Chains A and B, each alone.
Chain A
Amino acid sequence: MRRVLPIFVLLCATAGYAQEETRIAVPYERFVLPNGLNVILHEDHTTPTVSVNVWYHVGSGREKLGRTGFAHLFEHLMFESSGHVPEGAFDNWLEAAGASNNGSTTQDRTNYYEDLPSNALELALFLESDRMGYLLAAMSPETVDGQRDVVKNERRQRLENRPYGLAFSTMFEHLFPEGHPYSWPVIGSMEDLSAASYEDVVEFFTRWYSPANASLAIAGDIDPAATRALVEKWFSDVPAGDPVPPPDVVSAYLTEEQRPVLEDRVSLPRMYMAWLSPALYAPGDAELDILASILTDGKNSRLYKRLVYELQIAQDVSAFHYSLEQGSSFWIIATARSGHDLDELEQVIQEEIDRLKMEAPSEREVQRAVNQYEVSFLGGLERVGGFSGKADRLNGYYFRTGSPDYFNEDLARYRAIDPVDVQAVTRTYLRDGGRVILSVVPEGQPELAAAGARAQTD
């Protein structure tokens, strides 16, 4: 059933890859410092640049009710000042060395990177080790207040002042039961951001930002032995801290269909439909990625072709599997064109889901989606730095699987998918009776919402 693409026959002739057919190799060296910090080194001399990437295994899922948004607010504070780095110096010194840097927070983790010319590697190690070991020495209530305002503006820019901006947080609120770690938005509520205190900063840092709860990946133009010595030099004095227990996984199950409606300052109505689904790397996770692609990637995908291309009742449609450690969600989002309502869209979406439940997709549809995944893996090997460059991926794979070089295993999940597997996950997870369908409609026009004549039919 499964075809191996010629592209991988070619790979084995390419320097930098293992000789075995269909394997991508990202060779690495891994060691652990006495304080528990995991370190991963990978050499790539394509350009004279290096990426220093740090993951902390804490995200908004570890927050407490009443303090939502704290993990992300804390991410901002990590750039402010630390024991030996004055306010503003973090960015000033990095820019003076020709470096870029950033950080991001999800429900599961927080990551940071510096991409630098390779001569400046040690500067990044100094800065990362200083904020890992000595952040609190420089923190003050004023610093917290300053970033609180910035984060509130980030929330305004991403949510309040953006059309449909409140849709995702509304969806998560309905998808997960109250108190579930994924039920609140990563950026938090305005109220909780106002309530965050300096004491919260101290507690959060002490509890979650220990070396044993972190992983440092360095990829690029490096000498591994010299780099290891530099890592030992700068990170060995970081105190070990207390061990971090694994999260208590809270299960979630939707027993009925929910249909919230949101009025917003928008011209076109938009529908968000989502189901709960298997966790990242669990059986079914990759199949749902492929299902999403079959539904909405490209003009020939099932939903794009019918809604946008043929019927022309939708302006856009997209589907994706949002995979997280404690459980994922499968999403379909479609915007109605002017003069059309969400019931029309829902009817077609339902027909296409039902069709996939009755009959497996064609082999060509599955293979088309898998081929696109394979090329995106190749593209990911081009960059050492930034978000989802090689250093970031090594850390991600390490955290989720224990194996930094999980590239082949990850890709193999997609190659192994048969059309009937896609049919099976559609039947199992895209249930009519357990989902959330949010209608975002122009203010004063609730009649454009999806009414759901077919609700509760299975």
Chain B
Amino acid sequence: MSWMNIDKTRSLLAGLLTLAATTPLAAQVPDRSQPPELGPPPALSLPPIHRLELSNGAKVLLLEKHNVPLVQVNLVVRAGSALDPADQAGLASITADMMDEGAGGRDALELADEIDYLGASLSVFAGDHTTTVALYTPRSRLDAALAVMADVVLRPDFPEEELERKRLERLNSLMEARDEPRAVASVLFDRTVFGDDHPYGRFGGESAIRAFTVSGLREFHETHFRANNAFFVVVGDISMGEAREKLEALFGDWRRGEIPMMSWPQAEQVGDRQVYLVDKPGAAQSEIHIGRIGAPRLTEDYYAITVMNTILGGSFASRLNQNLREEHGYTYGAFSYFGFSPLPGPFGASSAVQTAVTDSALVEFMKELNGILEPVSDEELTRAKNYVALRFPSRFQTVSAIASQLVELELYDLPDRYFNQYVERILAVSKEDVQRVARQYIAPESMAVIVVGDRATIEDGIRALDLGPINNLSIDDVLGPAPDLSGTR
């Protein structure tokens, strides 16, 4: 299957490089007066995406890649932290964390020894809407590694003493988070933008960590880890026939189940702009995080938003980084992003800036957030579109990166032609599209402005900017008081 027709790029590139003169190849000294003229971008041709279902209905997507003898197998279960109970934020995460701490009759050390000896790696982690069991293994060790993976997925033991270990580990991580300005800013940003009641806004503090029980973890696993609520993605040095046989043998009798329907409250958009200032006495830098609710992954505006954000803060040459880093020297880097999820995720712009210039940096942030509402230049538009579209093939180099692409395809039920269309959809974004989505999603008057820094030095300057009411907070206000762990072993 040959895909990705990037013909449109040719004319765009030609448009960008009309100034380029042809260079005589044989010249002793090359003509350096212009950058060289480039030929048309190459098309990426990948093998087809195979699909099959196991006898219990579990879906499998597979892409063969034989140049290096490695195989990536990702099992994606459609349940993640968005399903955490309100008083147990982190339940999906700790359930994932506990799955390889004893399974199928082997304890945590035995499981780890087997996987490590194979040279493989097996990890289990929860996202907002998924839990992923990821196996990366040399081709020659696939059978043994898959057998361990099957035990971890289907037969986790959730031993009580392992849960206590994890609990202590997490309480200590909570202590460490207090020292990290970026972690503090991130927790406060999510809570401020989405609210305590929304799954994207919750944070698993001490009380949640202390509330986890073995039976709660078992129930989460039992309810959601079902053949009809999961799919496999297999990429690498393996054929469809082999994959079918191996997965059927190990996962064929995985039972189906009734999956509870879930719905989430719609998060309320951020209101009038306010500043949230968290004191970190003596900090050399201020961690700035500005944003609001963005858009869901399946929005029609996905491509236009991607191009718009690339111009604003999605690449090195973007406006935010050029302004705050290159022009003013306030920071090592400034960026912006849209977090695309099944529900509308965040839009955020962030940087760590030198303490003394915190107020000046905020002025430049607001300038760029307002500036993107105006029409962008042709040069910026072309550069951003090419940057996103022409780098697309580089996402298909490694088995793990290709697996991530296939996971996105299946998770959002995108058509197989999505990969073919991606480049042309990006290249079709117009200047008007960029301005429209900027005005729709970037509202500088309705944003949460989080600053974690040395309050004594920066507060007056921030107040003088009159960005909105200033809420003074402590790290305790954000993360809760430091857990008392003096009595722990």
Report whether A161 and B69 are in contact in the complex, using a CB–CB cutoff of 8 Å. Answer: no
B342 at the A interface (CB under 8 A): no
B109 at the A interface (CB under 8 A): yes
Report whether A7 and B44 are in contact in the complex, using a CB–CB cutoff of 8 Å. Answer: no
Interface string of A52-86 (1 = CB under 8 A from B): 00000000000000000000000000000001110
Report whether A312 and B165 are in contact in the complex, using a CB–CB cutoff of 8 Å. Answer: yes
A297 at the B interface (CB under 8 A): yes
CB proximity of A19 to chain B, nearest CB, Å: 15
A178 at the B interface (CB under 8 A): no
The residue on B at minimum CB distance from A162 is B180
B59 at the A interface (CB under 8 A): no
**Interface of chain B residues 101 through 139 with chain A (CB within 8 A):** 108-109, 112-113, 116-120, 136-139
CA distance A388 to B424 in the complex (A): 32
Report whether A315 and B118 are in contact in the complex, using a CB–CB cutoff of 8 Å. Answer: no
Interface string of A368-393 (1 = CB under 8 A from B): 10011011001101111100000000
Residue with the highest number of chain A CB atoms closer than 10 Å, among B172, B181, B325: B172
The residue on A at minimum CB distance from B33 is A84
CA distance A150 to B379 in the complex (A): 26
For B39, the chain A residues whose CB sits under 8 A away are 119
Report whether A305 and B109 are in contact in the complex, using a CB–CB cutoff of 8 Å. Answer: yes
CA distance A375 to B400 in the complex (A): 14
Interface string of B343-372 (1 = CB under 8 A from A): 000000000111000000000000000000
> Among the listed A146, A161, A309, A378, which residue makes an inter-chain contact with B181, where contact means beta carbons less than 8 Å apart?
A161
The residue on B at minimum CB distance from A8 is B140
B218 at the A interface (CB under 8 A): no
For B467, the chain A residues whose CB sits under 8 A away are none
B482 at the A interface (CB under 8 A): yes
A10 at the B interface (CB under 8 A): yes
A97 at the B interface (CB under 8 A): yes
For B13, the chain A residues whose CB sits under 8 A away are 96-97
A223 at the B interface (CB under 8 A): no
CA distance A390 to B172 in the complex (A): 39
**Interface of chain A residues 188 through 247 with chain B (CB within 8 A):** 221, 229, 233-234, 236-237
> Among the listed A10, A46, A161, A374, which residue makes an inter-chain contact with B397, where contact means beta carbons less than 8 Å apart?
A46
The residue on B at minimum CB distance from A376 is B119
**Interface of chain A residues 333 through 379 with chain B (CB within 8 A):** 335, 337-339, 364, 367-368, 371-372, 374-375, 378-379
Interface string of B281-300 (1 = CB under 8 A from A): 01111000000000000000
CB proximity of A144 to chain B, nearest CB, Å: 11
**Interface of chain A residues 95 through 140 with chain B (CB within 8 A):** 95-100, 115, 117-120, 122-123, 125-127, 129-130, 134
Report whether B332 and A150 are in contact in the complex, using a CB–CB cutoff of 8 Å. Answer: yes
Q: How many A-B Cβ pairs are below 8 Å?
A: 253
Known A-B contacts A15-B67, A123-B38; the reply to A156 vs B284 at CB < 8 A is yes
The residue on A at minimum CB distance from B108 is A299
A408 at the B interface (CB under 8 A): no
Number of interface residues of B (CB under 8 A): 92
Report whether B397 and A15 are in contact in the complex, using a CB–CB cutoff of 8 Å. Answer: no
Report whether B179 and A163 are in contact in the complex, using a CB–CB cutoff of 8 Å. Answer: yes
For A129, the chain B residues whose CB sits under 8 A away are 30
A153 at the B interface (CB under 8 A): yes
Report whether B116 and A298 are in contact in the complex, using a CB–CB cutoff of 8 Å. Answer: yes
B274 at the A interface (CB under 8 A): no
For B322, the chain A residues whose CB sits under 8 A away are 88
A2 at the B interface (CB under 8 A): no
For A15, the chain B residues whose CB sits under 8 A away are 66-67
CA distance A145 to B179 in the complex (A): 31
Report whether B36 and A14 are in contact in the complex, using a CB–CB cutoff of 8 Å. Answer: no
The residue on B at minimum CB distance from A381 is B68
Report whether A47 and B116 are in contact in the complex, using a CB–CB cutoff of 8 Å. Answer: no
Report whether A383 and B398 are in contact in the complex, using a CB–CB cutoff of 8 Å. Answer: yes
A48 at the B interface (CB under 8 A): yes
CA distance A266 to B175 in the complex (A): 9
The residue on B at minimum CB distance from A79 is B316
Report whether A237 and B29 are in contact in the complex, using a CB–CB cutoff of 8 Å. Answer: yes
A252 at the B interface (CB under 8 A): no
Report whether B332 and A97 are in contact in the complex, using a CB–CB cutoff of 8 Å. Answer: no
Report whether B30 and A237 are in contact in the complex, using a CB–CB cutoff of 8 Å. Answer: yes
> Among the listed B25, B40, B68, B391, which residue makes an inter-chain contact with A233, where contact means beta carbons less than 8 Å apart?
B25
CB proximity of B474 to chain A, nearest CB, Å: 14
The residue on A at minimum CB distance from B118 is A371
B315 at the A interface (CB under 8 A): yes
For A256, the chain B residues whose CB sits under 8 A away are none
For A234, the chain B residues whose CB sits under 8 A away are 30
Report whether A10 and B119 are in contact in the complex, using a CB–CB cutoff of 8 Å. Answer: no
CA distance A244 to B178 in the complex (A): 48
A268 at the B interface (CB under 8 A): yes
CA distance A119 to B165 in the complex (A): 53
Report whether B116 and A374 are in contact in the complex, using a CB–CB cutoff of 8 Å. Answer: no
CA distance A392 to B322 in the complex (A): 28
**Interface of chain B residues 28 through 46 with chain A (CB within 8 A):** 28-30, 32-33, 35-36, 38-44
CA distance A153 to B287 in the complex (A): 12
CB proximity of A434 to chain B, nearest CB, Å: 31
CB proximity of B220 to chain A, nearest CB, Å: 23
The residue on B at minimum CB distance from A148 is B329
Report whether B285 and A156 are in contact in the complex, using a CB–CB cutoff of 8 Å. Answer: yes
Report whether A146 and B326 are in contact in the complex, using a CB–CB cutoff of 8 Å. Answer: yes
Report whether A126 and B36 are in contact in the complex, using a CB–CB cutoff of 8 Å. Answer: yes
Known A-B contacts A14-B66, A48-B44, A312-B489; the reply to A146 vs B354 at CB < 8 A is no
CA distance A117 to B42 in the complex (A): 7
B18 at the A interface (CB under 8 A): no
B445 at the A interface (CB under 8 A): no
B389 at the A interface (CB under 8 A): yes
> Among the listed A92, A122, A300, A367, which residue makes an inter-chain contact with B38, where contact means beta carbons less than 8 Å apart?
A122
For B282, the chain A residues whose CB sits under 8 A away are 265
The residue on A at minimum CB distance from B328 is A149
Report whether A46 and B67 are in contact in the complex, using a CB–CB cutoff of 8 Å. Answer: yes
> Among the listed A96, A163, A300, A335, which residue makes an inter-chain contact with B387, where contact means beta carbons less than 8 Å apart?
A96
Interface string of B380-402 (1 = CB under 8 A from A): 00111011011101101111000
CA distance A123 to B284 in the complex (A): 39
CA distance A127 to B36 in the complex (A): 10
A401 at the B interface (CB under 8 A): no
CA distance A88 to B326 in the complex (A): 9
CA distance A371 to B396 in the complex (A): 26
For B283, the chain A residues whose CB sits under 8 A away are 161
The residue on B at minimum CB distance from A87 is B326
B331 at the A interface (CB under 8 A): yes
Report whether B119 and A92 are in contact in the complex, using a CB–CB cutoff of 8 Å. Answer: no
CA distance A404 to B447 in the complex (A): 53
Report whether A11 and B284 are in contact in the complex, using a CB–CB cutoff of 8 Å. Answer: no
For A428, the chain B residues whose CB sits under 8 A away are none
B486 at the A interface (CB under 8 A): yes
B168 at the A interface (CB under 8 A): yes
A selection of 18 A-B contacts at a CB cut-off of 8 Å is A7-B138, A96-B387, A97-B38, A99-B390, A119-B39, A119-B42, A126-B32, A134-B32, A150-B329, A163-B180, A312-B168, A335-B176, A338-B171, A371-B117, A374-B119, A379-B68, A381-B68, A382-B70
14 more A-B residue pairs beyond the given contacts A161-B181, A312-B168, A372-B116, with a C-beta to C-beta distance below 8 A: A14-B69, A84-B32, A95-B386, A95-B387, A98-B41, A98-B387, A117-B390, A152-B354, A267-B179, A268-B175, A299-B112, A309-B108, A371-B117, A382-B397
Shortest beta-carbon contacts, A-B, top 5: A98-B390, A149-B329, A48-B42, A338-B485, A160-B284
Interface of A with B (CB < 8 Å)? 5-7, 9-11, 14-16, 44, 46-49, 83-85, 88-89, 91-93, 95-100, 115, 117-120, 122-123, 125-127, 129-130, 134, 145-146, 148-150, 152-154, 156-157, 160-163, 221, 229, 233-234, 236-237, 265-268, 297-300, 305, 309, 312-313, 315, 335, 337-339, 364, 367-368, 371-372, 374-375, 378-379, 381-385
Interface of B with A (CB < 8 Å)? 13, 16, 25, 27-30, 32-33, 35-36, 38-44, 65-70, 108-109, 112-113, 116-120, 136-141, 165, 168-169, 171-173, 175-176, 178-181, 237, 282-285, 315-317, 322, 325-326, 328-332, 352-354, 379, 382-384, 386-387, 389-391, 393-394, 396-399, 482-483, 485-489
